[in-house]
Copies of this chain bind each other. A is one copy, B any other.
Amino acid sequence: MPKLNETHDASLTSWVDSANEPGADFPVQNLPFGVYTDPQTGKGKVGIAIGDMILDVTAARAKGVIGGVADDAAGACAGDTLNGLMAMGGRHWSVLRAAASKALRYDTEEGEAAEALAGEILVAQADVTMRLPAQIGDYTDFYASIFHATNVGMMLRPDNPLMPNYKHIPIAYHGRASSIVVSGESCKRPVGQTKAPDADVPSFGPSMAFDYETEIAFYVGPGNPLGQPVSIDEAEDHIFGLSILNDWSARDIQAWEYQPLGPFLAKSFASHVSPWVVTMEALAPFRSGAYQRPDGDPTPLPYLSSDANEAEGGFDVQIEVSIASEKMRDEGAAPEVLAVTNMQNLYWTIFQMLTHHTSNGCNLRPGDMMGTGTISGQTDDALGSILEITKRGTNPITLPTGEERKFLGDGDELIMRAWCERDGARGIGFGECRAVIEGA
């Protein structure tokens, strides 16, 4: 298993009180990285979330709150993205995390010194706007939940829902990097070509089958040169951390355009990510074995197999999806939970995905993003898209206001949250990924 150290100790508390509240997403055991807009300068700054506050890494370094062996890593946070830090690799990430932990703890000398400087090194999350955490060079979306692939396949090919390649290859396609935006920005309903099954010709207009996709994103740390694949045993060293990803999909646009080269405009209008990147080290206590393949499923080819992948390739990350229509929000109704799913439903681990991606020699760059694909579980309350929940619109859902939804409506707000739970270690959270749908 990945190494645990004193930063994971579940008994640690912070001098930032909000970090100690039960169920807080950002206790001192988490320390995720993100980028916010400095209200004074309008420029991006790298921060670490702690409770409902943000540690300004550059200010903390300037004040001597973070330094020593962590100085290089803190210095790499001077720009307006995490790319510099991501490129440095695990040793640097770890020393910076250790320094931030010491500085934010209640019981350390460093913490006492930091608390005295709180006004100069902390900003309230409520006072700032978050940005994309990285300049994302390329975005790749996988299709790694076998339950999702089966559910979707069932609608198209009831007798043979899974493609023959599915259990051999982590299926993926290249996505659009330019339209990745951060939680809180709205999502405009796309327009495009669609063709009803009974129509002679396609028409052009707003998508009438607008969907979300519940995913986890992971960011590349150090890259690899073109022509030099990353082995399955090295894959973990190339991943900086995880976020929540809502990879919106226009199912009607997709159905008409996707043959023979895959989804294009059905996806490229927007993808939303949560702003905080939960590091691999923070996730160390929440690792699990890889997905247990049923007897008879093929063993992955050697380039995708390793004992470590089997033993600790999985992540016990819960993901909850809720919806709040405009009417629900007007009436003050709580968001309605659509599903709770878990990363353990992935047939392929993120390490297998990354290794497969580079197996042909493709180069990855720091800050590149990959998505797991829609994560659906085996049960009806764990489906990662409304396509699956309403069975392509044939079983509409009813919201608390009495409104019906076959697919998403204008004004609907989608909220995804993710977190880890485990005995002995205090849970950590990912925060949220939310967006309101604007009419076309």
A interface, CB within 8 angstroms of B: 137-138, 140, 143, 153, 163, 165, 168-169, 171-179, 181, 188, 190-193, 195, 201-204, 226-227, 229, 250, 253, 256-266, 268-270, 298, 301-303, 356-357, 359-365, 368
Chain B residues near A201: list those with CB within 8 A: 168, 298
Q: Which of B153, B169, B192, B365 contacts A360 (CB 8 A)?
A: B192
Closest approach, in angstroms, between the C-beta of A193 and any C-beta of chain B?
6
Contact A261 B171 (CB under 8 A): yes
Closest approach, in angstroms, between the C-beta of A161 and any C-beta of chain B?
11
Contact A264 B172 (CB under 8 A): yes
Whether A359 contacts B227 in the complex (CB less than 8 A), given A165-B259, A201-B168, comes out as no
Contact A361 B270 (CB under 8 A): yes
What is the bound-complex CA distance between A153 and B260, given in angstroms? 9
Chain B residues near A172: list those with CB within 8 A: 261, 264
Chain B residues near A190: list those with CB within 8 A: 360-361
Chain B residues near A177: list those with CB within 8 A: 137-138, 177
Contact A202 B301 (CB under 8 A): yes
Contact A179 B226 (CB under 8 A): yes
Contact A269 B361 (CB under 8 A): yes
What is the bound-complex CA distance between A193 and B188, given in angstroms? 38
Beyond the given A171-B264, A193-B359, A227-B269, could you list 17 further A-B residue pairs with CB under 8 A, ordered by the A residue number? A137-B137, A153-B260, A163-B259, A165-B195, A165-B259, A168-B193, A168-B201, A171-B261, A173-B174, A179-B362, A188-B226, A191-B229, A201-B298, A202-B301, A203-B301, A265-B360, A268-B362
Copies per complex? 2
What is the bound-complex CA distance between A176 and B176, given in angstroms? 10
Contact A363 B178 (CB under 8 A): yes
What is the bound-complex CA distance between A92 and B229, given in angstroms? 42
Q: Which of B138, B261, B269 contacts A173 (CB 8 A)?
A: B261
Contact B359 A265 (CB under 8 A): yes
Chain B residues near A143: list those with CB within 8 A: 261
Q: Which of B203, B261, B303, B360 contacts A269 (CB 8 A)?
A: B360
Contact B259 A261 (CB under 8 A): no
Contact B265 A356 (CB under 8 A): yes
Q: Which of B169, B263, B301 contacts A257 (CB 8 A)?
A: B169
Contact B262 A178 (CB under 8 A): no
Q: Which of B256, B262, B359 contacts A260 (CB 8 A)?
A: B262
Chain B residues near A301: list those with CB within 8 A: 193, 202-204
Which B-chain residue is minimally distant from A192 (CB atoms)?
B360
Closest approach, in angstroms, between the C-beta of A386 and any C-beta of chain B?
19
Closest approach, in angstroms, between the C-beta of A174 and any C-beta of chain B?
4
Whether A176 contacts B265 in the complex (CB less than 8 A), given A204-B303, A302-B204, comes out as no
Chain B residues near A257: list those with CB within 8 A: 165, 169, 171
Closest approach, in angstroms, between the C-beta of A410 and any C-beta of chain B?
14
Which B-chain residue is minimally distant from A202 (CB atoms)?
B168
What is the bound-complex CA distance between A303 and B268, given in angstroms? 18
Chain B residues near A137: list those with CB within 8 A: 137, 177-178
- Interface pairs (13), CB distance under 8 Å: A137-B137, A168-B193, A169-B193, A171-B257, A171-B260, A178-B364, A179-B362, A203-B301, A226-B269, A260-B262, A262-B262, A262-B263, A268-B362
> Top 6 A-B pairs ranked by shortest CB distance?
A262-B262, A174-B174, A190-B360, A173-B261, A265-B360, A268-B362
Which B-chain residue is minimally distant from A268 (CB atoms)?
B362
Chain B residues near A192: list those with CB within 8 A: 359-360
Contact B176 A226 (CB under 8 A): no
Which B-chain residue is minimally distant from A163 (CB atoms)?
B259
Which B-chain residue is minimally distant from A227 (CB atoms)?
B188
Whether A357 contacts B178 in the complex (CB less than 8 A), given A168-B193, A202-B301, A204-B301, comes out as no
Chain B residues near A226: list those with CB within 8 A: 178-179, 181, 188, 269-270
What is the bound-complex CA distance between A203 and B204, given in angstroms? 43
